[in-house]
Structure 1
């Protein structure tokens, strides 16, 4: 035997060995899982039956104890009844009243030593003789008057389905004076036993220890009753409870039994075992056949190897994961499509597709699942376009679809692209199955048209990419066409970003101050609001650059500059009689507050400037409370220990957790302007504003309303206890010079008539 043949045979033997090991492991796994399932069903059903038996016990025990109390009370009253002239009528009446008042207890009988009924709640049993009754016999034999005896009930209810309790009546010199008998209503306990029957084969019973049956569930399908003689039905799973379970209360122990037919219980498990056994057999057969086929085809692979080597060259033009054309082949096809478009006059289109939140999938489920998703996306994209169109993968989660032979009219060509794009959006938003895990994903698409050589290939891809980012900006799962204005906007944004990075070093930022007014009309403080004095754009409002500053990280040095400038201004005002009392509120972003050295930054700004910390107030937003509340409270407490105050800005619009609010070392709540705007005519806003004011008062926190623009708003807030305001009704944000003039006018002017009227109200 040649060496190659020997190696080949050894390789075949290894394959069979691995095949046998895999089948053995699979068989072991099936056996283990089936054993675990059987054990789980057995344990769970035992626990469930035990729970049902416990339910019966918890209902039966109180009834038995109630019956004992009834018997005890009747025996205690016997002497009083016998002393009365019409004691028989009174006794019957009393027993009837007791029987009617108690649920599940009837009849109640007093039986003399001769077995005749002396008094009872059921007139139909007056002529019955109970001398042969089991309970009567036990009471007559056993001289203990405190012992209760359990037996079948009197009269026609002696058949299984009821319980009677009796107690001996002591006669003259301790002799036998009869019994008091109380029976439990069969219907009451039959309903109870039926109520715990959660399956057709569940049966329950109450019997004596010797097996005599008292009560049983009524809806029966078999002749055997669980719990009669022990072991009478070995096909049933039984759970038992005993009454009483501790010190004896009655003459005998009652046994509660709840059972299930094991044949019925384990029938689904046996079916599953059979199905898995058949499946294992099929797997073993087909895997063996498959291995035989694989080994037979091994020789054919050598013949195909040369053919495969020729195909390797083609791999340079296709994505190895999705088998789609890669960037190189896409660029070549785009080049050909532009030439064809130039000849035919038809439009073409490039659609840039990016999967939304694909990174989250990779980070949570792993790259293997991400690859599965990319493969399914590729197949769906191919199914959305014509055979002559191109679907390519550029890399990551980025795909490009090139459509050719569209309409010569640009608008109609765009309409065709819109149809295909929306079809892609719909297909890609359907549920994906990734190794038996369901996943939902969406995509953002940017599209651009082309015809001829008017636009270079790089520009086409760039345009489609810009349009795709526009789709993400509007909320994802959308299609947007490239607009030349997009390119202009991107260039302007890039220029704005560059200018913003230079704004602080070039001293282009300034602070405006909006006064905060108390209920007497005096200025108590200001809120510092940053403005950007651009050398070319003029005064840029914060809405145009704060979000960009957050995005590019400039918000951190910007926030520090505002804090230091505000502290310096407090020092400057300290020598001004009209301004020295004013506090300055500084807004702190979440990102700025979350810095590890934020406390040191605040204290450093105060120390370097020499500002009075009691006049500095930091305004925080509720979004800080979403995570690490303990860290937030620790930082606030450390800063507040130096005298700095805190205000919760835009209260009511964010997290608003009262559990955390009471723990925060706050000095002030600020009612958001969205509630103040319609407070005079929107009941909901009015209720929210009043609630915030009342909440602040209960927590001993000051409250201020922002966005006060009318006298009616101010009066409403004042009427319900808000004593501080901020808004255009009093003043717009002012420059430093205008603010000082404003404060001087307010401090030297008497309160206006409106102010006086509102103060009186």
Structure 2
């Protein structure tokens, strides 16, 4: 008995085989790109199901295309068993080729499993017809079908997973042309087995299908259609979901990478100039130093400080100052060689590392070029600005064998350049090291002094101008070092800020001042309404400064309203938003806030009005010579008038003569400090001072 084929259904069966193969290989191919083991198992299961049902669907559509004179039916159990065999074999094959590196042994094993599954599915499916007498087969053609299954499966798996395994595609899978080629090859394997196997089948002339009553061709067609559509739908949904997840992952990965790159850049660069900062500079210096040690060459540090920049910043404002810094950074960069590095290490300070050279004159030549470039007029937003540069040079290894030493010596040479007239460069010499050595000793001894409580506080009274009575006191740190003797705050405070010791020093001063104020309260001293303490920029910007103040107030028991914190205007204007938030939090506790040294920083009263300020202290530099300096007199008058309009009390520092006192009194200032009343006194001297002034008429000492 012979049959004929429907060309349309034959074509459809081949298309389904290819589509199912593509879907299966696509799903399985995601396993290599998937780093999650659980997700990988899901993809493997999906691929196995897609491949197995695809083989099964192709077979039975091919059977529908084969028409015999006898009605055919199919046993449901054998039909499902044939599909299960195809799914299991497909899963084994895909698991083998996706586990580790695809060696020849794995490839052959995977092809064997896949070919076995295709053959098993076909011949179990043929058995589902239950023909009587049974179907016989041509041995050579059966062998040919098995060979086709094995060889085509190996070829398909090789194309899908061995060729170009490291694709540049977003999902990390082979490109689409490669997957299509593999699908066509696998479809050919499935179709080849089926139609070769069908050619091998010999249907007896009198054969009848005993399964015809179990499942008709129409029922089989319905089952095949449902299963095929289900497979395709599942595959589409999985692919869409995975594509969405992949896009989300790529987007998040790209965003995270961009954020990390920006964060890394911010950590290693100055935000204003985009130049390297000290951290990146030190890293590059370490590399240069390693090369120089091998080559016996030299390299140099240049420490650059912009002369007259502060006055530009004060007179023309922050925005002009920032533009000058950016323009200066550009000019410095343009004068350097490719091997050189420039970094911004301070407000108006730059550090340049000049790469290896055999001739140290090269270093001086670069320094000279930088000086000339920076002395040329800057045109910023229509303003002509003239500055210059003081440059210090230190050379490795003559002036130091480590980064800190070289930086310190370049810094010392830079200050020497300023001392001899600015706008020049100086190469470090041993004599310049005296200041550096003293600085190091002060830094070392200061750390010990804080621990040993060698520091003391001096107290300077605040006097109400209207009544002449003492109304408050300012606590000032003093230090008598065992080795170096008396060291003024103008010397050790900047060093404390540079080294970070200002935090422990500032907390000690704050605690000691509050404790002493509490003692005076216990003694019944009612004239002192509060005690003021200076706060550095470093302290103000420290993350736990408010907690430190709270802790000191709780520890000493002093009311917050009796404490006054003095911050400089330059400190609050360095980061206005953060400073405003911190000062507001302190003010809400009840702490009084004063702006110290007003008139010497970057701001004006209109800028400061948003801050929670109680007092404004006029710097003593405006008071000395106020009777003869018309400009200073006009400036003080303007400050007092504006403070009055903003409901701020004005404290004048540095009042030393009756003439100065009379002048500020006429302007309407509220309080003053200065030698006219008293110099800063030790606690014992201040106690005696309180006793004397309590007995005498205020006019005798005012």
More strand by share: 1
Question: TM-score of the superposition, structure 2-length normalised?
Answer: 0.46
Question: TM-score of the superposition, structure 1-length normalised?
Answer: 0.43
More helix by share: 2
